[in-house]
Chains A and B, each alone.
Chain A
């Protein structure tokens, strides 16, 4: 027993990609399980349905780890030999190994790397695999295979039912069920035509999901839109992209051109008689234009300002015609749902939030990037398993979800499963999927101030609660971070928040107080420290901190003297240095370079 338990756990993975299953992977898996049972090795051998290894022409593929041995074209009849020779005897069955894998055994496997291991790619299914300018690359990866199915085998109602069955919800943040939205727009009479719109006006600071999807895989969005147009009965579509996404604009424009050449857009698509055009509209980069009514006004050439709803766009949208607006990621999910079925999609995720969500993981985190995970993945998995933890292994403090309309979620909620409902319960929102990780050195009042200042700039000014309310909030927060907070400020912020939330015309105002409300809810003590003690506990707010040299710790190395951009530090080598407070601009450069921690960034009482 001792000998056995000392051996490294072996894993046998049977690839369960479509191609391998078609080639008999199921039978191989059953045979493996039976054979393992006979040889009494299940204690140290696992049979898992692995993901596709992209050896599709060599399936069924069986991988044995450690060692990374890959067997190809395995039949149920080969299984006994693999188990006896390799798993029991420790010898590779050479006759079944595939390809030459010089040196590959020693390489780390992508599926062992935290960042990749837990991701499930649906919207980003082609990331890093296809040339965005090559439609053939897209087609070779099952691209445009859902379209003929939707155009020839399915009635528009069937498409809508499939999307409903999938449980797909708006990925731009609203989370409205996509199938229901399409159904309403389909039923809405549109004698003069209908429109579908792709909202690519991604404006949240730190968010780049839509940008990357359009840059990496523009045809997935075009295919989704064409299927949606067929379901709704639209003949014209618009993609609204901000001008500051030049690469996305270039690639999506080229993709539309090529799709026309292939007969996948334009008149008589694939010879089915269905017509659909897509136009690209360049937005000027106003945050409010991500709101659908403002976006439509902008396409019409009007000022990008929202209008009251109803009427909803599904009834009266762009130029008064029934219009369906979905976000880039929502559209990118459509083709796989049609190709593989709504049930397949709905098998991922939580009870009310199905499928996967793309997040841009940024901030104080080791692995920054774009991730796609099943709904219900916990923040802990996202931050520690995928993100690799907080930069420099500092203490995790909060994660900001949903951009300026979202909120800050504290450490105590790190096991929160991320879906629409749970985020909303925590006072935040899913938003379009920005996740900004913050560490112990982040001041939550400063964060709230940043987002509110952003929203003050981006408010269109049409309705008073948003225009004036957010401005007052920013002024109050501005005072607090400057150490001029007053008794009663917190109450005032809370009361303003209620008014702004309830009385604003559109989503921008209705969600604007979220960063303030969540930081007040979870980090109230930081507000109190700023207001009453004139201290910034995270040592961020410049007005509330003083840098000083601790003389008995200073070795006089002069690193800080060289680093100081304003010459506030002086002192001879090997002598304790002096910091001239009148000159100090509190940039923190000395603090960063001082390896002996002699400069203490302690916040002290200002008064």
Chain B
């Protein structure tokens, strides 16, 4: 990466904002998530993506989603729809979510915590 100037930073920001949106899978991996098994969830998502297809899908990890008592958690965000947060997950549930929601477009209601985004006030 070339060092940024103030102007280049602004254009880099605009480029990033305008990136084409893909199907986003987020596994929340703060210490609390990892302690309650989010590594297994991530593994299941990765292997499901190998097995079932990963075209147009971005898988990423973030820190804690806040609600430690409901970890492991995962968020699925499809273009044009609000993000959906899942909680109390394990590998099998994560695989089902990947197949039905990420690829199939239909949220797995029974594992959903809630839909919508949190953001800066």
List which B4-37 residues lie within 8 A (CB) of chain A: 4-6, 9-10, 12-13, 16-17, 19, 26, 28, 30-32, 34
List which A52-81 residues lie within 8 A (CB) of chain B: 52-56, 58, 68, 70
The 8 Å CB contact of A370, one of B68, B75, B112, B115, is B68
Instruction: Report yes or no: B114 in contact with A128, Cβ–Cβ below 8 A.
Output: no
Chain B neighbourhood of A371, CB < 8 A = 66
Q: Which of A112-120, A181-189, A579-587 forms contacts with chain B?
A: A112-120
Interface status of A103 (Cβ within 8 A of chain B): yes
Interface status of A110 (Cβ within 8 A of chain B): yes
Interface status of B42 (Cβ within 8 A of chain A): no
Interface status of B55 (Cβ within 8 A of chain A): no
Interface status of B61 (Cβ within 8 A of chain A): yes
Interface status of B45 (Cβ within 8 A of chain A): no
B105 to A: closest C-beta gap in Å: 5
Bound: A211/B3 CA distance, A: 29
A128-B65, A212-B63 known; A110+B115 contact, CB < 8 A: yes
A115-B67, A124-B66, A368-B69 known; A100+B115 contact, CB < 8 A: no
A55-B82, A98-B80, A140-B16 known; A108+B115 contact, CB < 8 A: yes
Interface status of A464 (Cβ within 8 A of chain B): no
Chain B neighbourhood of A112, CB < 8 A = 114
Instruction: Report yes or no: B4 in contact with A263, Cβ–Cβ below 8 A.
Output: yes
A167 to B: closest C-beta gap in Å: 15
Interface status of B52 (Cβ within 8 A of chain A): no
Chain B neighbourhood of A2, CB < 8 A = none
Bound: A208/B106 CA distance, A: 35
Instruction: Report yes or no: A367 in contact with B119, Cβ–Cβ below 8 A.
Output: no
B88 to A: closest C-beta gap in Å: 13
Chain A neighbourhood of B91, CB < 8 A = none
Instruction: Report yes or no: A54 in contact with B117, Cβ–Cβ below 8 A.
Output: yes
Bound: A261/B2 CA distance, A: 7
Interface status of A600 (Cβ within 8 A of chain B): no
Interface status of A41 (Cβ within 8 A of chain B): no
Instruction: Report yes or no: A128 in contact with B26, Cβ–Cβ below 8 A.
Output: yes
Bound: A480/B100 CA distance, A: 59
Instruction: Report yes or no: A106 in contact with B80, Cβ–Cβ below 8 A.
Output: no
The 8 Å CB contact of B118, one of A103, A116, A139, is A116
The 8 Å CB contact of B6, one of A52, A128, A137, A152, is A152
Chain A neighbourhood of B69, CB < 8 A = 366-369
Bound: A217/B69 CA distance, A: 21
Instruction: Report yes or no: A121 in contact with B119, Cβ–Cβ below 8 A.
Output: yes
- Nearest to A336 among chain B residues (CB) is B120
A102-B106, A103-B107 known; A51+B1 contact, CB < 8 A: no
Interface status of A457 (Cβ within 8 A of chain B): no
Interface status of A136 (Cβ within 8 A of chain B): yes
List which B39-87 residues lie within 8 A (CB) of chain A: 60-70, 73, 75, 78-85
Residue among A100, A151, A272, A369 facing the most chain B CB atoms (10 A cut-off): A369
Bound: A370/B112 CA distance, A: 20
Instruction: Report yes or no: B115 in contact with A127, Cβ–Cβ below 8 A.
Output: no
- Nearest to B105 among chain A residues (CB) is A102
Instruction: Report yes or no: A127 in contact with B83, Cβ–Cβ below 8 A.
Output: no
Instruction: Report yes or no: A131 in contact with B79, Cβ–Cβ below 8 A.
Output: no
Interface status of A122 (Cβ within 8 A of chain B): yes
Interface status of B113 (Cβ within 8 A of chain A): yes
- Nearest to A119 among chain B residues (CB) is B118
Interface status of A591 (Cβ within 8 A of chain B): no
Residue among B60, B63, B64, B117 facing the most chain A CB atoms (10 A cut-off): B63
Encoded as 1 (CB less than 8 Å from any B CB) or 0, chain A from 115 to 148 comes to 1100111101101111110101101101011011
Chain B neighbourhood of A128, CB < 8 A = 26, 28, 62-66, 73, 75, 85, 118
Instruction: Report yes or no: B121 in contact with A122, Cβ–Cβ below 8 A.
Output: yes
Bound: A166/B79 CA distance, A: 36
Bound: A211/B105 CA distance, A: 35
- Nearest to A149 among chain B residues (CB) is B6
A107-B107, A113-B114, A122-B121 known; A217+B63 contact, CB < 8 A: yes
Interface status of A48 (Cβ within 8 A of chain B): no
Instruction: Report yes or no: B82 in contact with A120, Cβ–Cβ below 8 A.
Output: no
List which A214-263 residues lie within 8 A (CB) of chain B: 215-217, 247, 251, 261-263
Interface status of A348 (Cβ within 8 A of chain B): yes
A99-B81, A128-B28, A336-B120 known; A139+B114 contact, CB < 8 A: no
Bound: A19/B2 CA distance, A: 29
Bound: A104/B119 CA distance, A: 20
Instruction: Report yes or no: B106 in contact with A261, Cβ–Cβ below 8 A.
Output: no
Instruction: Report yes or no: B5 in contact with A270, Cβ–Cβ below 8 A.
Output: yes
A104 to B: closest C-beta gap in Å: 6
Chain A neighbourhood of B115, CB < 8 A = 68, 104, 107-110
Given contacts A99-B79, A132-B63, A216-B64, list 9 more A-B pairs with CB under 8 A.
Answer: A51-B121, A98-B80, A107-B107, A116-B114, A116-B118, A121-B119, A211-B31, A215-B64, A271-B5
A-B contact pairs, 11 of them (CB 8 A): A55-B80, A56-B17, A68-B115, A100-B81, A107-B107, A113-B114, A137-B60, A263-B2, A336-B120, A368-B69, A369-B64
Q: Which residues of B contact A (CB under 8 A)?
A: 1-6, 9-10, 12-13, 16-17, 19, 26, 28, 30-32, 34, 60-70, 73, 75, 78-85, 105-107, 109, 112-121
10 cross-chain pairs, A with B, having the tightest CB-CB distances, nearest first = A216-B63, A99-B80, A263-B3, A110-B116, A128-B65, A110-B114, A140-B16, A148-B6, A54-B117, A271-B5
